[in-house]
Structure 1
Amino acid sequence: MATQTGITISAPDAPFTIVTTVPRPTPGPTQALVKSLAVGINPVDPMQHHTGLLVTSYPAILGSDFAGVVLEAGSGCTRLKPGDYVYGCAPLGQNTFTPFQETFLVEENVVLKALGREGVDVEGLAGVGAGLFTAGLCLLAGMGLELSPDGTKAAEKDEWVVVLGGTGTVGQFAVQIARACGFKVAASCSPAKAEIAIKNGATATFNNRGGADEQVASIKEITGGNFGRIFDASTYGYGVMVAALEEASTAESKYLTSVDDWSPFNTPASIKEYRAELGHLGRLDEPIGAAVTKDIASWISTFEAHLAAGTLKPVEYQVVDGVGWDKVIEGINQQEAGPAKKIIVRTQTE
């Protein structure tokens, strides 16, 4: 059996180890073998390291966001061929699909393909997957928004979407999606980061450091009550969401969506609740995994069209100096220290 280099952990919280004995996977009919070129570091990466969250076996190979190039395509692949640049988010905790190794597998129906090979920004693409997919789950599946299939931006509506945590990776993509769907966007963030939200398309911002009453008042002042959809990308805005929808919204239909899929919620019956569970991507033996995978597969061509057109775009990022697996470990350490921007690591040269 052919082997390759990768990063493994032997147990939860065990040190990362660079090894040369990782089995090289073989693609099935609808899969492709991808060479890892860059990875984006997400909060879930150190979380999996320390807790074993969603890890199916040890020694484990971690990783979530990636960009790479197809080396081999399965006999049933219709979208991918050798030489295609691909990017996205790996199914978490499944060793043959995770990108902290030389090559890994992707299912062609849930991976994004760069449209055109000239000037491919591998580093930028490596930071797209988890943020875009999570925002998509919350806004498209959870709120019922619709992106045009051809990548064009919808005409602006006289209606608002509220995004709490509008300058994190997921929040930035949420702002972009809502704007591409034609909605005005009120995004919460620290005043120092307001420019980031505006750059991503936010119509207005408000201070996320204020108390719940202050934030609800800001939402009402900005929107005039003309909103029925609010998304929390921060994981600590549930109380603000409920209060804003109950006290400040004039909409008949109300939607509350969140990246928090673990805390107990007690959402009023008048509000439709949705929580993103991207970690179950690819777990087709689970009802939530099957639903998440089906949703993301249905949006792939639309996301590709919008990214190619520029109506959706990668978020700002910082790159760890150098290339290699030791740099991935360095990037994870930087993530735990609290980065200013999305962290990208080049894993191998092309």
Structure 2
Amino acid sequence: MSNQAENLAALVPAAKAELVVEKRPIPTPGPDEVLVRNHFIGLNPLDWKRQLSGMFISSYPAILGTDSSGIVESVGSNVTKFKPGDRVLGGADGMISQKPENASYQTYTIFRATSTSKLPSNISLEQAATLTTATITSYLMLFHVLGLPKPELKTPPPNATVLIWGGASTVGNLAIQFAKAAGLNVYAIASKKNHEYLRSLGAKLLFDYHSDTVVEDAVAAAEREGKPIAYVADTITSVATLGSVQDILSKSTATVKNVAHTAPWPEDFKKLDGINADMVHGEEVWYKPDMIELGSKVFNEDLPKWLESGVIVPPPYRVVEGGVGKIQDALKVLQAGVSNQKVVVGV
């Protein structure tokens, strides 16, 4: 390692405070871990929500961030699937482990080998930084929470429609692609300006959430096809979206009515009888034994193949240059709202 190498980290110094940049030691990976020199850091809405609320922060100062891509610097003694110099993406488990070195808002990050993917030559580091959280969240929404048939199993899909609410989010982008790969009948709800792009990913029919008749239009289209809406992945998860989702399912003739959502069900918001709703927990791939195994298969084996073959295409992104010192500015961009874009910071 060069004597000039240093680890700059964007820290949350106190509750609700803005990020400050400090120099930290370059960490050493444990037996089952890899140390990555980050080149691009992907931001998620949960990041600014954690900063403002203190969610999943046990003490301060704290380092946030889950997604990044870069070059492997060193590996632990048990790691055989990665070596120094490999181009990778990773999902940092600092939110669960509470280890500051296991967070992505810094130059060097420790990742579990089970949450790391080697990149094929057709995927850039910029593109890779968009993928980690979106990949595992969308995969689990469809194939774990909703119980739909996984693409790799070649199982005949149900005679029903899966609806992706929030198709232009990064999770929505990936969910559409996974659903298409599984042979599912895919509808998506998104702003009209994004319909053409989402159709190219595999959404058969698209509906504009601004429309006063979006609920009725989606239900009627599925009924005409003889494939009623039975499964919904709500990637936004607000009172407004869940209200519309429940309205859709209550009007559908499907016998199964399942919803997967990305955030906790709002307090004092009633779940309708006959509708099964469950939250996706992507963080389980870091601490539940069966989910660790599933996550390892997705990240170590499947994702590189999906990317190389084009089954999965990385979502659109916007790069904010300037290093970790620009993460706070980039979080404000994300908080203000972006459409069909992942915000990525160049390190």
TM-score bin (small chain): 0.7 to 0.9
Kept in 2, the 8 Å contact 1:161–1:183? The answer is yes
Query: Any conservation in 1 of the 2:149–2:157 contact (CA below 8 Å)?
Result: no
Q: Deviations over 1:148-178 (max 9, x none)?
A: 349xx98887542111111111111111111
Query: Which residue in the other structure is 2:124 paired with?
Result: 121
**Aligned-partner SS, 2:338:** coil
Question: Structure 1, residues 178-204: CA drift from partner, whole Å, max 9, x if none?
Answer: 111001211111222222321221101
Residue 273 of structure 1 aligns with which residue?
Answer: 277
Q: Which residue of 1 aligns with 2:39?
A: 37
Q: Which secondary structure state, in structure 1, belongs to the residue aligned with residue 8 of structure 2?
A: strand
> Is the 8 Å Cα contact of residues 230 and 252 (structure 2) preserved in structure 1?
no
Using a 3 Å threshold, how does the CA distance of structure 1 residues 119 and 309 change in structure 2: closer, same or farther?
closer
1:233 aligns with 2:235: yes
Distance 1:154 1:304, change over 3 A: farther
Q: CA deviation at 1:53?
A: 1.3
State which drifts further: 103-112 or 259-268.
Answer: 259-268
Of 183-192 and 289-298, deviating more is: 289-298
Q: Does 1:132 align with 2:135?
A: yes
The aligned residue for residue 82 of structure 2 is 80
Cα deviation 1:201-236 (Å, max 9, x = unaligned)? 11011121234xx33311222211623111111213
Match of 2:330 in 1: 331
Which of 104, 118, 123 matches 2:109?
104
Q: Which runs of 5+ in 1 are unaligned?
A: none
Residue 203 of structure 2 corresponds to 202
Matched, 1:172 2:173: yes
SS of match in other structure, 2:162? strand
One-letter code of the match for 1:201? G
Task: Tell me which residue corresponds to 1:17.
Answer: 20
The alpha-carbon deviation at position 134 of structure 1 amounts to 1.2
Indicate whether 1:244 and 2:248 are aligned: yes
The yes-or-no answer on 1:184 pairing with 2:185 is: yes
- What SS class does the counterpart of residue 243 from structure 1 fall into? helix
Quote the offset at 1:313 in angstroms. Answer: 1.2
* Residue type at the aligned position of 1:131: A
C-alpha displacement at 1:262, in angstroms? Answer: 4.4
Alignment coverage as a number of residue pairs: 332
Unaligned runs of 5+ in 2: none
Distance, in Å, in 1 between the alignment partners of 2:344 and 2:180 is 26
2:215 aligned partner: 216
Normalised by the length of structure 2, the TM-score is 0.87
> What amino acid is the match of 2:333?
Q
Residue 295 to residue 330, structure 1, CA distance change in 2 (3 Å): same
Q: Report the alpha carbon displacement of residue 269 of structure 1 after superposing the two structures with TM.
A: 5.5
Identity of paired residues, percent? Answer: 26
- Structure with the largest fraction of helix: 2
CA separation in 1, counterparts of 2:220 and 2:336?
A: 36
- After TM superposition, the score normalised by the length of structure 1 is 0.86
**What letter matches 2:192 in structure 1?**
P
Change (3 A) 1:302 1:223: same
Cα contact 1:85–1:114 (8 A) shared by 2: yes
**DSSP 3-state at the match of 1:139:** helix
3-state SS, counterpart of residue 188 of structure 2 = strand
